[in-house]
Structure 1
Amino acid sequence: GSANRIARAALLAEPPSIDRDEVTDKGSINQRAVLKHRDALVQGLHEGSLPHIFQPQGN
């Protein structure tokens, strides 16, 4: 299904932040914190409205 493929991607100018709990002590990504702090980026990916989006062929 669609959950098993990447539809769009964007490079971040700023890495995930430990201070904003986007990275755990073990170095894993905290998805909930990333979605909370980067809401505009997530919305732009879903809408396709970001200026620099990577989108695989056929999508």
Structure 2
Amino acid sequence: MLGWAVVFFIIALIAGVMGFGGIAGAAAGMAKILFFVFLVFLLISVFVHLTRGRGPRI
């Protein structure tokens, strides 16, 4: 997911340099949304990892 955010960010940069403001804005918006979704999943993953702890030692 982070990879897709980077791809949309690069598309936004290229489109902005070439003068396509609408496409650049849309791509930047998608990159922002995907980045925040990635952050939410990362925080959920870290929280689950910390609360599960270790299993019983045998």
TM-score in terms of structure 2 length: 0.27
Bigger Rg, which one: 2
Which structure carries more helix by proportion?
Answer: 2
Q: State the structure with bigger RCO (CA 8 A, min sep 6), 1 or 2.
A: 1
TM-score in terms of structure 1 length: 0.27
